[in-house]
Amino acid sequence: MPLVRYRKVVILGYRSVGKTSLAHQFVEGKFLEGYDPTVENTYSKIVTLGKDEFHLHLVDTAGQDEYSILPYSFIIGVHGYVLVYSVTSLHSFQVIESLYQKLYEGHGKTRLPVVLVGNKADLSLDREVQAVEGKRLAESWGATFMESSARENQVTQDIFTKVIQEIARVENSYGQE
């Protein structure tokens, strides 16, 4: 019998960057047209990676900005984070930097399992943030970077698979210290 491990992952980012659309595409396999501001939503999905099974509990949050105070529920008991900005909004990219700093401090400045996602990559004419900038920021945190479009299912599978792998990677690196 495989062990089912519980993983709580919080999706954070400025409003309207596509947090809900990514979670919805991943869990329901559909793209959401039209804007529906999220209060806070949770999703559950069993993810199988090789021989391991994970019960992934996703928390899709209302958008934050640089002034947001993150509640304890975004820190305590959370295994990993998907931090989302939109490649069409430089402001959303700047907000992500400040959110990361708050999480990092909230966790006592330990290494965090994070996947940084530059979403809306299909809107190439409106691009304000280059992929290389996202990559550089993720590297400075020791995190994984991906660009995505919530219109595509596969990339959402990759994002949430990656965050489970990042959680394992960070846990293992502590085990070796």
* Contacting positions for ligand GDP (CB under 6 A): 13, 15-21, 32-38, 63, 119-120, 122-123, 149-151
- Closest residue (Cβ) to ligand GDP? 18
The nearest distance, CB 174 to ligand GDP, in angstroms, is 31
Q: Measured from the CB atom, is 1 or 125 closer to ligand GDP?
A: 125
End-to-end CA distance of the chain: 30
What are the C-alpha distances in Å from 40 to residues 1, 10, 23, 133?
34, 11, 12, 29
Q: Measured from the CB atom, is 56 or 83 closer to ligand GDP?
A: 83
* CB crowding 17-54: b at 16 or more within 10 Å, else e: bbbbbbbbbbbeeebbeeeeeeeeeebeeebeeeeeeb
Bridge partners of 46, per DSSP, are 55
The nearest distance, CB 148 to ligand GDP, in angstroms, is 6
The nearest distance, CB 95 to ligand GDP, in angstroms, is 11
Q: Measured from the CB atom, is 5 or 151 closer to ligand GDP?
A: 151
The nearest distance, CB 82 to ligand GDP, in angstroms, is 11
